[in-house]
Amino acid sequence: MEDCIFCKIAVKETQAEIVYEDEQFIVFPDSNPKAPFHVLLIPKKHIPSLREVGEDDMELMGRLLLTAQKVAQENHLKGYKLAMHVGKEGGQEVDHLHLHLLAG
Amino acid sequence: MEDCIFCKIAVKETQAEIVYEDEQFIVFPDSNPKAPFHVLLIPKKHIPSLREVGEDDMELMGRLLLTAQKVAQENHLKGYKLAMHVGKEGGQEVDHLHLHLLAG
């Protein structure tokens, strides 16, 4: 998606500090952190929000939660909070599905 | 799990207003709502938290997010927020994995 700022991060057109990356996901710090540790996990595939997720992406969604678990482990987080905003009315600010991971 | 209050809801030993139910999940109102619409989605299977989720449960986790999408649709929510607390230090209050769905 040409105009998606998160897609630009995924393809490295926009620079970000990469906290974690694999074939399916990229994780980088939230630009407006609400906690000492606050990163965003995004699938590299452009999906606007959870509303647009279909059966075909179910495994990707499961992997998203397991990736959050992995990032938390790698960063030695004792406890953490995950949050996902869905739709403008739900507080979603960028139209590319993303999961917040906060701790500290 | 004998002493788990969410397992008791899952097996109907403790009564709750059931918002949604299928073979794998049950959804009921949060007893201390933080929004006009605030329900908890839990897998019927006892998993203490996301920390204990393994590869075998990846599909269950994907289905959990799709179930949140379904419950939101069924309740005509325009936008919504999902949240999951992991571990006591992450604000988790009941040791049975649960996803908050809030709107309004």
- Read off the pLDDT band of B2 (50, 70, 90): confident
Q: Is A85 helix (H, G, I), strand (E, B) or coil?
A: strand
Nearest chain A CA: its distance from B21 CA (Å)? 18
Report the share of chain A in percent with pLDDT over 70: 100
Tens of pLDDT along B6-56? 999 999 999 999 999 999 999 999 999 999 999 999 999 999 999 999 999
* Axis-axis angle for helices B58-74, A58-74 (nearest 10): 120
Q: What global pTM score does this model have?
A: 0.97
Residue type, A59: E
User: How far is A89 from A76, CA to CA, in rounded Å?
Assistant: 33
Tens of pLDDT along A8-43? 999 999 999 999 999 999 999 999 999 999 999 999
Q: Which residues contact A15 (CB under 8 A, 6 or more apart)?
A: none
Q: Which of B82, B94, B97, B98 to mutate to test the interface with A (most CBs of A within 10 A)?
A: B82
Tokens encoding B39: 């329900």
User: How far is A84 from B49, CA to CA, in rounded Å?
Assistant: 17
Nearest chain A CA: its distance from B8 CA (Å)? 25
B94 within 8 A of B49, measured Cβ to Cβ: no
Other Cβ atoms closer than 10 A to A76 = 8
User: How far is B59 from A55, CA to CA, in rounded Å?
Assistant: 11
CB contact under 8 A, B65 and A51: no
Nearest to B87 among A60, A66, A78 (CB): A78
- Read off the pLDDT band of B1 (50, 70, 90): confident
Residue B103, by phi and psi: left (phi above 0), alpha (psi -120 to 50) or beta? Answer: beta
- DSSP at A48: -
Go through the domains of chain B in sequence order and give each one's CATH number.
5-103 (3.30.428.10)
- CA atoms in the 13 A half-sphere facing the CB of A88: 0
B61 within 8 A of A62, measured Cβ to Cβ: yes
Nearest to A81 among B61, B78, B90 (CB): B90
